[in-house]
Structure 1
Amino acid sequence: MQKLAAKHGPAPFAPHPFPERSPYGVLLSSIVGQQLSGKAADTIWQRLSSRFALEPEVLWQARTEDLRAVGLSNAKARYVQDLSRFALEGGLLGIETQTDEEIIRHLTQVKGIGVWTVQMFLMFGLGRPDVWPVLDLGIRKGAQKLYGISERQALEELGERFRPYRSHAAWYLWRVLEP
């Protein structure tokens, strides 16, 4: 892990500086990119952002067929609209003050947002330093390559070594997989 930190520099989570992003934008991007390659997700994101203002009011009122026209599936179009409704109802206000567990319970009420999506939001949207997404395939592959483990229980135990900076360790495990 020390070699990875030396090679890649500090992970982009607290206490290091991290880019502040709107909760709505981060979650919207996560929904668009779910189960897609980075290139496909980027293409759909570019189409979406060139056709619509990426604001809850706009996307909540967008017709499903118009969202489909930019490349979203029926399900993702509904997820985008449900997230937009949730945001318009105030569901994202003050979210940064909640605990990780509260945020997971709160955001998984939105269709299309599961625990993994919320964990990515906690890390890359809020810069939380101690998130350990053991169900993430990249984490499992990185841990297998670096430590020879991939089973959930072993990953949970490994994560305890890095508490309270498990997000940092996860970020370095993803770096292990880069060419």
Structure 2
Amino acid sequence: MIRLIQTEADLAEGAAHLARICPVWAKALPLIDPLPLRRREAGFAAMADAIIGQQISVAAAASIRARLETAGLMSEAAIRAATPDDLRAAGLSRPKARYLAAIAEAGLDWDGLSALPDDEAIARLTALPGVGVWTAEIYLKFALGRADVFAAGDLALQEGARLLYTLPERPGPTALRVLAEPWRPWRAVAARGLWAYYRLAKGREGVT
């Protein structure tokens, strides 16, 4: 059975697990309650969101997304019909415009992903142009609601973990995955908690 985050009750169950196993989480969670669901409809548009958000600020990603939506360029059919200049005019970099065009042409079975285990779904997504592990994990977490996907390569998660655990330096992806092991099977709830703690400490969002 694939564990999902679909409601606030699921978040509460995951948060209770974190508080039970770790005194640091037990102290922090009341400061960042309520955790956001951050769910979005599965499909091409959610993947486009993840592609847009690669390696740029949350504000910049939101601006580009709004321009694409205004231009009607958030569906596979619209992207296939668009020219590279159309996508560039909406603010996409040349590589991201190329990635979205290639993904729109790939004909991925978006509905079929929901039945796959996490590792298989990530493998299916990372076979697409421009989709690395971070992008695939973001998609699984937000679009498919997977409860134990983490995205350890996310800089805001790394910084959130440094702040939460008062670490001497920001943990890299490998170190963060080790730190996150005890948080299974609710690492996606922990990710929401780290992003929320990052927002509390920094005064800005670390993820859309």
TM-score per shorter chain, which class? 0.7 to 0.9
Say which of 50, 69, 72 aligns to 2:70. 50
Structure 1: runs of 5+ lacking an equivalent: none
Q: In 1, are the aligned partners of 2:152 and 2:176 still within 8 Å (CA)?
A: yes
The corresponding residue for 1:80 is 100
The corresponding residue for 2:144 is 126
Q: Deviations over 1:127-150 (max 9, x none)?
A: 111112222211211121222162
Q: Deviations over 1:84-123 (max 9, x none)?
A: 112xx24323111111101111011111111000111111
**1:9 maps onto 2:38 in alignment:** no
The corresponding residue for 1:165 is 186
**1:100 maps onto 2:100 in alignment:** no
Alpha-carbon distance in 1 for matches of 2:77, 2:172:
43
Paired AA for residue 162 in structure 2: Q
The corresponding residue for 2:154 is 136
Alpha-carbon distance in 2 for matches of 1:58, 1:35:
24
Aligned length: 173
**1:112 maps onto 2:136 in alignment:** no
Residue 6 of structure 1: how far off its partner (Å):
2.1
Q: TM-score, normalised by structure 1?
A: 0.87
The corresponding residue for 1:22 is 42
Residue 35 of structure 1: how far off its partner (Å):
1.6
Q: 1:58 to 1:116 in 2, by over 3 A?
A: same
Q: In 2, are the aligned partners of 1:132 and 1:167 still within 8 Å (CA)?
A: yes
The corresponding residue for 2:164 is 146
Q: In 2, are the aligned partners of 1:31 and 1:112 still within 8 Å (CA)?
A: yes
Alpha-carbon distance in 2 for matches of 1:151, 1:48:
33
Alpha-carbon distance in 1 for matches of 2:53, 2:198:
19
Q: In 2, are the aligned partners of 1:4 and 1:175 still within 8 Å (CA)?
A: no
Paired AA for residue 164 in structure 2: L
- Percent same amino acid at aligned positions? 35
Residue 31 of structure 1: how far off its partner (Å):
1.0
Residue 152 of structure 1: how far off its partner (Å):
4.3
Alpha-carbon distance in 1 for matches of 2:155, 2:149:
15
Q: 1:80 to 1:152 in 2, by over 3 A?
A: closer
The corresponding residue for 1:36 is 56
The corresponding residue for 2:16 is none
Q: 1:110 to 1:141 in 2, by over 3 A?
A: same
Query: How much is the aligned-residue C-alpha RMSD, in angstroms?
Result: 1.9
Alpha-carbon distance in 1 for matches of 2:34, 2:136:
22
